[in-house]
Amino acid sequence: MAANEGPTRPLEVLGKPLCRVDALGKVTGETRFADDLSMPGMLHLKLVRSTVPHARIVGIGTEKALALPGVRAVLTGAEFPIPFGILPVSQDEHALCPDKVRFVGDPVAAVVASDELTAEEAARLVDVRYEPLATIASPEQALKVPEPRIHDYGDGGNIHKAVAFDFGDVPAALDDAHAVFEDTFFYQGNTHLALEQHAALAHVGTDGRVTIASSTQTPHYLHRAAAKVLGVPASRVRIIAPPQGGGFGGKTEPFSHEIVAAKAAMLTGRPVKVS
């Protein structure tokens, strides 16, 4: 044995079939994910999402939904004037759209009911009237269409930021290169599809603290956004992140349904679940 070598030890982890510490709870069904959670007196929430890609919201008719037995409340963008976002430069998201939708699926309203099926039925009864705006489907089209703007921030029109970088003698580098390749690459968008979809349960305790249990990968981001949008001190907001059935980065930002469920719990005084 060399002077600088210590005694060898057998590997204790690598290459050995060790049991996961959370395996037993998962294979027996004891582990509770966000959608497994429930509370006495719990109400159910469903979002009403935009059916058009880009439009102004002219009006939202809630009368038919409110008239359905079992419906407790219908929320619109008027309840969420404070914007939020994942980045400092993009604080222009709203839990429910107040005046304009920017993609198919943008949340416009929310229905709270005594059971999930009633909430789904009531959501279909909410009448949203739109004034269509130009649909911008590609970066190339966005460069040609400065108005209407999809986002109000940025350097102008539908350009978020115009920056040019030039380091060193680029023409000389290209001339001296062994080979120069020019092409245009297009990669179709995709989204993560975890076995466990999004779900959240919110309630207000007897001490007035708002608790949100959500299938989130970033409880601290959600904590900050929820406190801001709800107008509640951060010390009065608690976030619980239960075990997850997959995320892959698809749950790494605050989402509308989490904040809307919390607002609904504050308005109704009942636990509210969305899934």
Q: Which residues contact 14 (CB under 8 A, 6 or more apart)?
A: none
Output the six-digit token pair for 166: 């030039």
**pLDDT, position 90:** 84
**Does residue 218 register a pLDDT over 70?**
yes
Q: What's the average model confidence in pLDDT over 101-108?
A: 97
When comparing pLDDT for 18 and 43, which is higher? 43
Say how far apart CA 74 and CA 123 lie, in whole Å: 9
**pLDDT, position 5:** 63
pLDDT above 90 coverage of the chain, percent: 76
Q: What are phi and psi of 130, to 5 degrees?
A: -120, 150
What does the DSSP assignment read for the chain? Answer: --TT-------SSTTS-PPPTTHHHHHHT-S--GGG---TT-EEEEEEE-SSSSEEEEEEE-HHHHHSTTEEEEEEGGG--S-B-SSGGG--B-SS-SSEE-STT-EEEEEEESSHHHHHHHHHH-EEEEEE-----SHHHHHH--SS-SSS-SSBTTBS-------S-HHHHHHH-S----------------SS---EEEEE-TTS-EEEEE--S-HHHHHHHHHHHHT--GGGEEEE----S--TTTT-S--HHHHHHHHHHHHHSS-EEE-
**pLDDT, position 164:** 86
Q: What's the average model confidence in pLDDT over 10-24?
A: 86
Tell me which residue of 45, 65, 105, 114 sits closest to 260, measured CA to CA.
Answer: 45
Q: Which residues contact 75 (CB under 8 A, 6 or more apart)?
A: 96, 109, 110, 111, 112, 260, 263, 264, 267
Span 224-264, pLDDT tens digits: 999 999 999 999 999 999 999 999 999 999 999 999 999 99
Say how far apart CA 123 and CA 38 lie, in whole Å: 22
Q: Which residues contact 73 (CB under 8 A, 6 or more apart)?
A: 111, 112, 264, 267, 268
Output the six-digit token pair for 215: 């299938």
Q: What's the average model confidence in pLDDT over 20-43?
A: 95
Say how far apart CA 261 and CA 95 lie, in whole Å: 10
**Does residue 1 register a pLDDT over 60?**
no
**pLDDT, position 3:** 57
**pLDDT, position 192:** 84
Average model confidence (pLDDT) across the chain = 93
pTM equals: 0.88
Q: Residue 75 forms beta bridges with which residues?
A: 110
pLDDT above 70 coverage of the chain, percent: 97
In angstroms, the first-to-last Cα distance of the chain is: 62
**pLDDT, position 165:** 86
**Does residue 268 register a pLDDT over 90?**
yes
When comparing pLDDT for 144 and 266, which is higher? 266
pLDDT band at 87 (very low <50, low <70, confident <90, very high): confident
User: Where on the phi/psi map is residue 189: left (φ > 0), alpha (ψ -120 to 50), or beta?
Assistant: beta
User: Where on the phi/psi map is residue 173: left (φ > 0), alpha (ψ -120 to 50), or beta?
Assistant: alpha
**pLDDT, position 63:** 98
Question: Do residues 112 and 43 lie in contact, with contact meaning Cβ atoms separated by under 8 Å?
Answer: yes
Q: What's the average model confidence in pLDDT over 132-155?
A: 89
Q: What's the average model confidence in pLDDT over 43-70?
A: 98
